[in-house]
Structures are given as structure tokens and as C-alpha cells.
Structure 1
Amino acid sequence: MSETSKPEEKPYGVSIRGYISVLLIGAYLGILFVKSEVASWQRIHDMFLFREAHMYLIISLAIIVAMISMLVIKRLGVRSVDGKPITYKPKPYHTGVIIGGMLFGAGWAITGACPGPVYAQVGAGEWMALFTLGGAMLGMFGYAALKPRLPH
């Protein structure tokens, strides 16, 4: 390589170390979801029937941790793995949020998984979760195709 040529850049400016870090964090979260039973269909079912507070306590704790994390990120000026500043921009409230929330909640209640735990379920050998994952992918691509005609 000559002195004037630049080294080849990685996609999105993320190093191999960054990818490995994300993979390890994802594996840790998957284990955490399975061990805390967040990925358990029965726990989700009991939550929606108001039979137990297990999931509500976990969700409340997650919200508190996210709030503290955002405060720390803002105060310290933390940057993402690709060097960009991390900022929070609230999304506008509209009819599509209500419709999307109802569809998300119905899917969550029927399948016992939202987008995070479905990967933990697949990783834990719950083969029926492949249908949930397929439905989530279908919903994602369907939304992308219909987005121009949906209320935003």
C-alpha cells in the first residue's frame, strides 16, 4: 500500500471488535431472558391475565434502568460504536401508534414473545418460536411495503 492510499474502510465504520461485543451482549441478553423467564410463554400468558406480577416487575425495572442509562449517556456524552453521538428524539403520537401498539400487543399475547425474546426462544430450542420469528419478519416487511399508505 502506498503512502497516499487510504486503508480499506469497514462497513458502517464498525470494527470486528465492535461486532464481537454486540454478539456477546446479545448472547448475554438471550441467557438473561431465558433464565429470568421473560421468554416463557406461560409467564407472558399469566401477565396478560393479571395472574402474577413477575413480568410487570421486570418491565418496570427495565424502564428504570433505561431512564438511568439515558441520563448517564446524556451527561457523559457517550457515543455509539461507530462514533456518532447517542441522542433521544421522541416520536410524534398519532393514530398509527395506537394501531401498531394493538397489533404488537395481540401478537405478543398470542405468541408469548416480543422481538427480543423470540430469538432467545429459538436459541433455547423452542421450535414453535420459528413461526413467531417468521410472523415478525412478515409483519416487518409488510409494514415497510405499506408504510406510505399507513397513518403516520
Structure 2
Amino acid sequence: MSDIPGVHSEASTPRSATALPVYLLVGLYFGVVLVKSEAASWYRIQEMFRFESFHMFGVIGAAVVTGMITTALLRRSGVKSRDHQTIKVTDKARGWKRYVYGGLTFGVGWGLAGVCPGPILTLLGAGVWPMLIVLGFALLGTWLYGALQNRLPH
């Protein structure tokens, strides 16, 4: 089982220590892209919520299209993981409640903090120290979801 929801490999094997530098470099690259594209900019996010600029809609749209293409390629190609296991992408669960409630929760948090979870660590790395508060509440929200998961609609 993969540790990525919806992506499963035929067998689970422990990750090697050599994978950590690769993950760190990919995360560093992602952080640089977020900063350079201004996707981590509070001002750009506010422009988007006020419908004053297309910039963030373009960034998000590009990410959605990239994700759709990648998912389609993963489903059709039979590509293998680093551990030589076949990657299978499962269909999402049916129903609307989980997506509406999850989207509303995410959107309210995004609107209040001015940042989605992706750039939190990037902004901390850039020296935006108030993001420590946002990170704390993001971790609290994750913990609360885990504690209340069985009582929430899915």
C-alpha cells in the first residue's frame, strides 16, 4: 500500500535512506516554483478572491490540468514505482458531502490565513514568521480531523 491516498502499489516495502535527499530536493524545487510564480503571495491570493486578477486562476488551472494528465497517464501506462511495484490509481468515492464540506473547510481556512497548506513551509523558509501560527493551526486541524474522523460525514 502506498502512503499516498488513492495510489496503491502491489506490495509495500520500506523506503531507502537514499530517497530522502530526492524528496528534499523535489520539495525545495516546489518551494522555489511557488515563490517565483507568486503562488505563495498573500497579495496574489487576495487578488484572486476579489476577482481582480487571473494570475492565480491560471496557476491553479495549470496545476489541475497537469494533475489530470498525470493521473490519466498513470492509469494507462502501468508505470512502476521506485520499488518496481505497479502503481494503480483508484477512483474517488462517490457522494457530494465529503467534497462540499471539505472544500468549504479548506476555502475558509485559505481565506482566513491567506495561504493554502502548500506554501506554508515555503513562506517559513522565506522568513515569513507569522506562518508559524498558520502552521500550528493547520497541524491542529489535521489532528482534529483524525480525532473526529469517525463522526464526520464521508
TM-score by length of 2: 0.84
2-structure distance, mates of 1:54, 1:80: 34
How many residues in Structure 1 have an aligned counterpart in Structure 2? 142
**Match in the other structure for 1:131:** 133
What letter is aligned with 1:43? R
Using the TM superposition, give the Cα deviation of residue 75 of structure 1 relative to its aligned residue in structure 2, in angstroms.
2.8
Q: Which has the larger radius of gyration?
A: 1
* Offset from partner CA, 1:24-81 (integer Å, 9 cap, x none): 1111000100111101111111100101000000111111111221222223212334
**Match in the other structure for 1:92:** 94
What letter is aligned with 1:68? I
Contact preservation (8 Å) 1:80, 1:86? no
Poorly superposed stretches of 4+, deviation over 6 Å: none
**Match in the other structure for 2:144:** 142
Using the TM superposition, give the Cα deviation of residue 103 of structure 1 relative to its aligned residue in structure 2, in angstroms.
1.4
What letter is aligned with 2:125? G
Identify if the C-alpha distance between structure 1 residues 139 and 12 changes in structure 2 by more than 3 Å, giving closer, same or farther. Answer: farther
Contact preservation (8 Å) 1:41, 1:112? yes
2-structure distance, mates of 1:117, 1:38: 8
Equivalences for residues 1-152 of structure 1 within 5 A: 12-82=13-83, 83-152=85-154
What letter is aligned with 2:109? G
2-structure distance, mates of 1:86, 1:110: 36
Using the TM superposition, give the Cα deviation of residue 84 of structure 1 relative to its aligned residue in structure 2, in angstroms.
4.8
Contact preservation (8 Å) 2:48, 2:57? yes
TM-score by length of 1: 0.85
Contact preservation (8 Å) 1:39, 1:112? no
2-structure distance, mates of 1:72, 1:101: 26
Q: CA RMSD in A?
A: 1.7
What letter is aligned with 1:141? W
Using the TM superposition, give the Cα deviation of residue 97 of structure 1 relative to its aligned residue in structure 2, in angstroms.
2.5
Contact preservation (8 Å) 2:74, 2:87? no
Q: Percent identity?
A: 40
2-structure distance, mates of 1:81, 1:127: 36
Using the TM superposition, give the Cα deviation of residue 96 of structure 1 relative to its aligned residue in structure 2, in angstroms.
3.3
Contact preservation (8 Å) 1:79, 1:86? no
2-structure distance, mates of 1:112, 1:134: 15
Contact preservation (8 Å) 2:35, 2:122? yes
Unaligned 5+ residue runs, structure 2? Answer: 1-11
What letter is aligned with 2:124? V
